[in-house]
Chain A
Amino acid sequence: SQTIHQWPATLVQPVGSPLSLECTVEGTSNPNLYWYRQAAGRGLQLLFYSVGIGQISSEVPQNLSASRPQDRQFILSSKKLLLSDSGFYLCAWSSGTNNEQFFGPGTRLTVL
């Protein structure tokens, strides 16, 4: 069966510091991968998605970037965090042939 991992689970960072969040999927190949952000008490905002290695599409312009160095690895990065980057970051995957998306456990980021 498929499993999706995210780390770290929680992170507290100062404003202006860099960020790297990692997501990996097991048990499937060539998945579609997605990064979402959820502000406290709010809905899900799609940040990036990827249909293959090295292929990244950005949905919202911001100071974040994403990379997919391996088939089942998706990384979210920032060079300088802003206070507004605080939130719950969720990675998700789908098979590419099926619309069903499954979420990872998330990373709770607090920028101080």
Chain B
Amino acid sequence: GENVEQHPSTLSVQEGDSAVIKCTYSDSASNYFPWYKQELGKRPQLIIDIRSNVGEKKDQRIAVTLNKTAKHFSLHITETQPEDSAVYFCAASINNAGNMLTFGGGTRLMVKP
């Protein structure tokens, strides 16, 4: 089955700096890669996703890049703000009957004011 590794497990940045979180996946058939943000005690929220026919996608301060050959994808947050502090999860999925997601272990991002 699919295996998703996520690094780093914790990341501390100064407000205004950029943050990068990286994930690798094992199954070359995976074709959908979402990122979720989970604030303390809350549900994970889908913040951006990318499909395998695209190499990069951007939404304001957030961007995701995908390298299918190397089987890795990354989340980039620019001009970080204290409200970006949360746990971020990457995931990978194959478009099949169950559309199941395999999640990475999460990255705790702390943005210092």
Residues of A participating in the B interface, judged by any CB pair closer than 8 Å: 32, 34, 42-44, 46, 49, 51, 57, 59, 90, 94, 96, 98-106, 108
Mark B residues whose CB is within 8 Å of A: 32, 34, 36, 41-46, 49, 89, 93, 95, 97-106
Asked whether B99 lies within 8 Å of A96 as measured between CB atoms, the reply is yes
Would you give the shortest CB distance from B95 to chain A, in whole angstroms?
Answer: 6
Q: Which residues of B contact A49 (CB under 8 A)?
A: 98, 100
Rounded to whole angstroms, the CA-CA distance of A51 and B100 in the bound complex is 11
Docked Cα-Cα span, A108 to B42, in Å, equals 10
Known contacts A90-B44, A99-B32, A99-B93: does B103 contact A44 (CB below 8 Å)?
A: yes
Q: Is the CB of B105 within 8 A of A43?
A: yes
Known: A90-B43, A104-B43. A99 touches B89 (CB 8 A): no
Q: Within 8 Å CB of A101, what residues of B?
A: 34, 46, 99, 101
Smallest beta-carbon distance A74→chain B, Å: 14
Contact (Cβ within 8 A) B46 A102 = yes
Name the B residues within 8 Å of A90 (CB-CB).
43-44
Task: Give the docked Cα–Cα distance between A100 and B75 (Å).
Answer: 17
User: How many cross-chain pairs have Cβ atoms below 8 Å apart between A and B?
Assistant: 52
Contacts of A105 in B (CB 8 A): 42-43
B106 to chain A, nearest CB (A): 5
- Contact yes or no, B99 A44, CB < 8 A: no
Smallest Cβ-Cβ distance to B99: which chain A residue: A99
**Which of B34, B43, B93: most chain A Cβ within 10 A?**
B43
CA distance A99 to B92 in the complex (A): 10
B34 cross-chain contacts in A, Cβ below 8 A: 99-101
CA distance A46 to B93 in the complex (A): 13
Contact call B46/A51, Cβ cutoff below 8 A: no
Q: Please name all residues of chain B whose beta carbon is closer than 8 Å to the beta carbon of A106 when the two chains form the complex.
A: 42-43
In the complex, what residues of B have CB within 8 A of residue A103's CB?
Answer: 36, 43-45
Give bound CA distance, A49 to B96, whole Å.
13
List the 10 shortest-distance A-B pairs measured between CB atoms, nearest first.
Answer: A99-B32, A103-B43, A44-B103, A99-B99, A99-B93, A43-B105, A43-B106, A103-B44, A94-B99, A49-B98
